[in-house]
Amino acid sequence: MPVLPDPVIRHLPIPGPPVLPIVSQICHTRVKSSKNKKTMLSITARNLASALRGSLVGTSSRVAAVRCLHGTEESAEEFDKRYEKYFSRDGIDGWEIRKGMNDLLGMDLVPSPKIIEAGLRATRRVNDIALAIRWLEGCKDKCGDQKATLYPYLLEKITPTLQELGIPTIEELGYDKPELALKSVYDA
């Protein structure tokens, strides 16, 4: 595969395998008898068709894959609005809420407080407290190594919504500590 120096060119379709070297290798094979010539002709035709098919199909699939990657960039505000709208739909069920939450938690981001609140309201509409707690746990986990700064900020922003909906935090339930953990011998 050729190395492309310009990052703009990397988005262009990469041509398939070169056909001319294959054709020249096939054509330069020596044949001694006429029976072998017919066999060799059919083998050559088959190899040539295979080489052409591979180069054409490979290029078209690469073009389709590259074209799927292009599109308009979505701003953070548009992204937030899209998920707020998704969780605020009338008639949304538990499966759709789980799908939206799973999609969000699978992305490389921490959901904004507006999206977290919309998800909590959706879980409250379907009366699924377990899903609300799992949503809070997933958002806390997405904070990663910044839990000390990001999670308190998120809690500060969503606390009014939690109190309005009657959803306890993970810390109020004691889920932030292991259930069967023993006290450290150094704490005695």
Q: Which of 90, 156, 100 is nearest to 131 (CA)?
A: 100
Q: What topology does CATH give the domain 76-173?
A: 1.25.40
Amino acid at 176: D
Task: Give the pLDDT confidence score for residue 182 in this predicted structure.
Answer: 75
Domain extents in the chain: 9-69, 76-173
pTM of the prediction? 0.59
Residue that has been written with the tokens 């894959």 in this structure: 65
How far is Cα 123 from Cα 165, in angstroms, rounded to an integer? 10
Task: Give the pLDDT confidence score for residue 113 in this predicted structure.
Answer: 95
Contact 87, 121 (CB under 8 A): yes
Q: What is the pLDDT of residues 108-160, one digit of tens each?
A: 999 999 999 999 999 999 999 999 999 999 999 999 999 999 999 999 999 99
Share of the chain above pLDDT 90, in %: 50
How far is Cα 4 from Cα 14, in angstroms, rounded to an integer? 9
Instruction: Note down pLDDT in tens along the chain; length 188 residues.
Output: 445 444 433 333 444 444 444 444 444 445 455 556 666 677 777 776 666 665 554 444 444 344 455 678 889 999 999 999 999 999 999 999 999 999 999 999 999 999 999 999 999 999 999 999 999 999 999 999 999 999 999 999 999 999 999 999 999 998 888 777 777 788 76
